[in-house]
Amino acid sequence: MIAVRPGPPLAGTVTVDGSKNAALPLLAAVAALGRPVRLTNVPANTDVQIMLALLQQAGWHVAQPVGEPTAAVILPTESRRTHAELPQAAHIRASYYLVPALLARHGEARLPWPGGCRIGARGMDLHFTVYEAFGDRTAVDESGYRVEAVTPRTGTVSLVLPFRSRGATVAAVLRAVTTSRPLRLGSPNLSPEILCVLDALETVGWETRTSEHLLTLTPPSSALIDGIAWEVPGDKIEAGTLACAIAATRGTARIEGVHGRDVNPLIAALRRLGIPAGADAGILSVRARDARPTSRGLRAIASLSPGGLDADFEPPLMALALSLPGTHLFADAINPGRHSNLLPQLARLGADFEELSPTECRLTGPQQLTGTGVEATDIRTGSALMVAGLTAQGVTTVGGLDQLRRGHADLPGKLRALGADICEVTP
């Protein structure tokens, strides 16, 4: 577990790892491409390591260049089994990103139902709709699901998503890649994680066009080039969590390795709370020492719309808002079980809030928290509890370190580098 105590304002400079949420679909895109790709800035969190292991089990070779711990070269092998049995896929939700590559390589994908954080029902029916639009057959049972490629079709695939699903958007994009068919996708998810996949595909000749309402893909007009190299972008959520920790301690620090476009919604939220923050040239700066807290409150509403607040920013912002004046509203209907994970743990620290619905709550700050034992029941709950622990009186111990490491290789170490009084302890 992690022990956290309040201390001096955080200060200094720290660099974020590569993004888990971007690395996972990029790895699936590499597999779908069927060509050797060198991928850099690969994070060492547990979910990404499981995805790399799944690729190896399913017939891809993964090599780490000597002296480059965050790089991987991935290429298909000549072995082609009838299908890959991948029981480890049950441990991460992003295992469903591998379906297009498995269809291209084995003609079918048989996978267990995906796992990951328990933050509410997030079904796969929309994924199956995508595959059926490409002519694939789907079947489900209690243990998992099967997608089977049938006689190849030609022509443009057109469909409209009923909501901006990140998983269904990745499924459609990667199935277009493996079938070499044009795609017209209405109501796509255009989060930074999707855009980095589209940017990567453009480097190998795919023509991509996006607007708020439509994503189109056109296959390359010539053979793919050799020497393909992609890079995982910096982790915007890790950057946002660190920024909230800096702000909670009234510190001043710099977070390197993150695109400004990715953290603009987080910056807007910090500024509404009276905390000077900005991003330039890959650096997120937080100057909470010069903060002028207001009492107008924060509305942190998770959104799938382009430019909206990523749901994963909401938990650390809630932990920060507890220490700031105003009445603050938080809502996350995207992950309907997240509040039921987070709020009871914050309540153990003494947080007082009004639950307006299972996915919406309101709180008034500032509040004084008191350290005690809490549990990281999912990745983002764990990171938010560490932010809260930096302002709580006494010692806060955060259990469930395995959950935290699913998304961050060493978030406590990055906080420690900024001066946080935080360490790993044996229960």
Mean pLDDT score, 264-279: 96
Whether 228 is in a domain gets the answer no
pLDDT score at 299: 95
Domain boundary at 220, 250, 285, which? 220
Same domain, residue pair 193 and 276: no
Same domain, residue pair 299 and 411: yes
pLDDT digits (tens, 9 = 90+) for 174-201: 999 999 999 999 999 999 999 999 999 9
Same domain, residue pair 268 and 384: yes
Q: Which helix (H) or strand (E) holds 170?
A: helix 166-179
Same domain, residue pair 214 and 349: no
Q: Which residues pair with 2 in a beta bridge?
A: 398, 424
- Percent of the chain predicted with pLDDT > 70: 96
Query: What letter would DSSP give residue 309?
Result: B
Structural domains in the chain (count) = 2
Query: Per mean pLDDT, which range of 97-101, 113-117, 158-162 is the poorest?
Result: 113-117
Whether 399 is in a domain gets the answer yes
Residue 286's domain is classified under what CATH number? 3.65.10.10
Whether 229 is in a domain gets the answer no
Q: Give the Å distances, CA to CA, from 270 to 80, 260, 262.
A: 51, 14, 14
Tell me: cis bond preceding 188? Omega within 30 of 0 counts: no
Same domain, residue pair 111 and 192: yes
What is the pLDDT confidence band of residue 82, given thresholds at 50, 70 and 90?
very low
Are 390 and 420 within 8 A, CB to CB? yes
Same domain, residue pair 12 and 143: no
Q: Which of 356, 392, 358, 396 is nearest to 375 (CA)?
A: 396
Burial of 125 (0-12, 13-18, 19+ CB in 10 A): exposed
Same domain, residue pair 207 and 250: no
Same domain, residue pair 127 and 112: yes
**Catalytic positions:** 117
What is the pLDDT confidence band of residue 90, given thresholds at 50, 70 and 90?
confident
What is the pLDDT confidence band of residue 117, given thresholds at 50, 70 and 90?
low
Whether 227 is in a domain gets the answer no
Same domain, residue pair 199 and 258: no
pLDDT score at 425: 85
Mean pLDDT score, 5-29: 96
pLDDT digits (tens, 9 = 90+) for 304-357: 998 899 999 999 999 999 999 999 999 999 988 899 999 999 999 999 999 999
Whether 359 is in a domain gets the answer yes
pLDDT score at 383: 96
Q: Give the Å distances, CA to CA, from 38 to 2, 61, 403.
A: 35, 12, 28
Whether 225 is in a domain gets the answer no
Domain boundary at 220, 243, 263, which? 220
Whether 166 is in a domain gets the answer yes
pLDDT at 293 over 90: no
Mean pLDDT score, 5-18: 96
Same domain, residue pair 281 and 368: yes
* 304: containing domain: 2-17+234-424
pLDDT digits (tens, 9 = 90+) for 36-53: 999 999 999 999 999 999
> CA 96, CA 94: separation in Å to the nearest integer?
5
Same domain, residue pair 204 and 125: yes
Query: What letter would DSSP give residue 231?
Result: E
pLDDT digits (tens, 9 = 90+) for 353-384: 999 999 999 999 999 999 999 999 999 999 99
* Furthest CA-CA distance within the chain: 64
Same domain, residue pair 7 and 51: no
pLDDT at 120 over 60: no
Mean pLDDT score, 93-117: 89
- Percent of the chain predicted with pLDDT > 90: 79
Domain boundary at 220, 249, 272, which? 220
What is the pLDDT confidence band of residue 119, given thresholds at 50, 70 and 90?
low
Phi-psi bin for 153: left (phi > 0), alpha (psi -120 to 50), beta?
Answer: beta
Whether 226 is in a domain gets the answer no
Q: Which of 161, 111, 159, 108 is nearest to 137 (CA)?
A: 108
Q: What is the mean pLDDT of the chain?
A: 92
- Global pTM value: 0.94
